[in-house]
Amino acid sequence: MQSDLLPFIDWRYHPRQVIPPRERIITAGDPTEMLFLLESGVALAPNAAVRGHKHFPDLVKKANMNDITYAAGALLSLLEMLALDAYRHDVLAHEECRVIGIDRLEIKAMWNRENRMAWPLSCSIAAAITQRRQTRFLL
């Protein structure tokens, strides 16, 4: 899905932000109004649901097997942005990261120009995947 989304967005005109190591790019509970492209750097989404405890940025030294690692070119927490009203997991800069933000409504408008079913279908698929992941971890 990411490779399909990238060509439709002219990233040159969107704001960029440099995030220092161990700082949050996304905080759990933030509204999913923005989608972030990781232009450079490495970011981690610690999977607190699996480990059963709150994860703090100063504890992130290296990725472990339950973390999601994002490399340059990745869309951060895309499924959560499509499926939820608020991000479920933190995303932390593992090293200095340069991110580009784009408004959720702009993405929706772009997808609707291509096909009126693209946005609702994408959100529906993302919701099913997100729900399945949550259910799997609760068992």
Question: d(Cα 65, Cα 138) in Å, to the nearest integer?
Answer: 18
Residue 91 sits in a domain whose CATH number is 2.60.120.10
pLDDT value, residue 55: 44
pLDDT value, residue 132: 83
Q: What is the mean pLDDT of residues 81-110?
A: 93
Mean pLDDT lowest among 8-22, 68-82, 124-138:
124-138
Residue range(s) defining the domain that contains residue 15: 2-138
In the chain, the number of structural domains is 1
pLDDT value, residue 61: 44
**For 48-72, how does the pLDDT look when each residue is reduced to its tens digit (9 = 90+)?**
444 443 444 444 444 556 688 999 9
**For 7-23, how does the pLDDT look when each residue is reduced to its tens digit (9 = 90+)?**
566 777 888 999 999 99
Instruction: Note the Cα 53 to chain centre separation in Å.
Output: 20
pTM above 0.85, yes or no: no
pLDDT exceeds 50 at position 3: no
pLDDT value, residue 23: 97
pLDDT exceeds 50 at position 46: yes
Question: With contact defined as beta carbons under 8 Å apart, do 28 and 90 qualify?
Answer: yes
